[in-house]
Amino acid sequence: MIIQRYLLREIMASFSATILVLMLIIVGNTFVRLLGKVSSGSLPVDSLTKLVVLGSISGLIKLVPIALLIGMMLAFGRLYRDHEVVAMHSSGIGPKQFYKGIFLFVAPLTLLVAGLTLFVIPGLEQASDNIKQEIKQRPEASGIPVGEFMHSKTGGKKITLFVEGIDEENVVMKRFFMHIEEKGITSKIENKETNNNAEDDIEVLLSAQQALLYIAPENGNRIIKIENGSRYDNNRSNGEYNIFRFKEHGIHIPALEINRSKNLGAESTVKLLKNNDLESKAEIHWRLAIILSAPVIALLAFPLSHTTPRQGRFGKLAIGILLYAVYANLTITGKSMIEDGKIPASIGLWWVHLIFIFLALWLVRKQYGNLK
């Protein structure tokens, strides 16, 4: 039908303009936030572009419903301003025909959002987590500078560390040197045999061709693996001096504050469906909510865009954005309640969608009387 194709073009044009503006905002916000981390030294500059792209795409997909709401309200606001909706309605075109034109665009958009939400976003989250994990394994993530001496003191231990260079991937440290002075570290067996409680004064020198910082997968501890080097132990208390040659040698270093909470957003949808815990079920309902929010918002946007000539094109846009904020907050609250077991997983977030579907139908009935 000509009218439905006309509505499709109007909605698509407004939606495209809105999503473009939101994309610029999302990219700019993500870039500024990550740039702050780069300037503070907590994020390597070579990872900035990757994280900006991944974060922007993931955020933009989640903002499709609000872009659809604003786009539809702008499109129908213009049609109401130019009295085109009134002319269509007086020609016998009712809400049912309007919704046919609306869902010519919303139906494929919903399918696209479903594919992206169920399969693409988890992949993006996983890629982002991998980059962040790789950053944590870099020397600079533990405060190890390159080309300058680093001094640290913890309790009775003094550490001096120097790394001459680093490879192109910012992972392997070249020509590694470490000097450790520590009091209170002694051979416990000798002390038990001699019944001597005196503390030893230990000096350790380490030098190696290269060293690698990694995170032990079983416990998350940070380990420096030193390769092809020598160790010199000098016990100043008893004059003992030992020299070791080694191919590999590991040293535990204190970890930075790391959030080890499991990111369910990076788990595949198939894996979440196999899990039976409340967190996985809540994540499934969350992803379904992102998908269903597009058609629900489309149902609501049409009656909300109804304006009188005196109200103007943007008369109810603020109300629409406020209702979307309520919708989004109810969804977030519902997800938390599922995780806490306050709402059965069988109910999930369906009640949130039903509230706004009934609200949309009530508004249509109030303004048009029926859905014919």
**pLDDT (tens digit per residue) in 10-44:** 999 999 999 999 999 989 988 888 888 777 656 76
- Pair of tokens at residue 185: 């570290």
pLDDT at 222: 67
Alpha helix segments (H runs only) across 41-94: 48-62, 64-81, 84-90
> CA–CA separation, 192 vs 364, rounded Å?
87
Q: What are phi and psi of 244, to 5 degrees?
A: -125, 140
Residue 73 CB partners (closer than 8 Å, separation 6+): 301, 304, 305, 316, 317, 320
Domain locations in the chain as residue ranges: 2-136+262-368, 139-253
Which residue in this structure is represented by tokens 């999930």? 348
What's CA 173's distance to the chain center, in Å?
Answer: 30
Three-state SS for 292? helix
Instruction: Read off the pLDDT of residues 225-252 as tens digits, 9 standing for 90 and up.
Output: 888 888 888 888 787 888 888 888 877 7
Low-confidence residues in the chain, pLDDT < 50? 140-141, 186-198, 255-261
Please give the Cα distance from 57 to 292 (Å, whole number): 19
pLDDT of residue 289: 95
Q: Could you tell me if 226 and 176 are in contact, meaning their C-beta atoms sit under 8 angstroms apart? A: yes
Give the per-residue pLDDT at 219.
64
Q: What tokens appear for 257 in the block?
A: 């504050």
Instruction: List the beta strands (DSSP E) in the chain.
Output: 150-154, 157-166, 172-183, 201-215, 222-235, 241-253
What are the backbone dihedrals phi and psi of residue 192, each rounded to the nearest 5 degrees, phi first?
-70, -40
Cβ-based neighbour number of residue 217 at 10 Å:
7
| The pLDDT of residue 255 | 47
The verdict on pTM exceeding 0.85 is: no
- The answer to whether the beta carbons of residues 302 and 72 sit under 8 Å apart is yes
CA distance 307 to 318: 13
Query: How far is Cα 42 from Cα 219, in angstroms, rounded to an integer?
Result: 22
- Locate 184 and state its tokens: 């209170």
Distant-in-sequence, close-in-space partners of 141: CB < 8 Å, separation ≥ 6: 135, 213, 256
Distance, CA of 120 to CA of 132 (rounded, Å): 19
Q: What is the CA radius of gyration of the chain?
A: 31
CB 75 within 8 Å of CB 10: yes
Please say whether the beta carbons of 156 and 182 come within 8 A.
yes
What is Dmax (Cα atoms) for the chain?
Answer: 106
Pair of tokens at residue 198: 């005196």
Write the CB contacts of 29 (distance below 8 Å, at least 6 apart in sequence).
none
Contact 223, 214 (CB under 8 A): yes
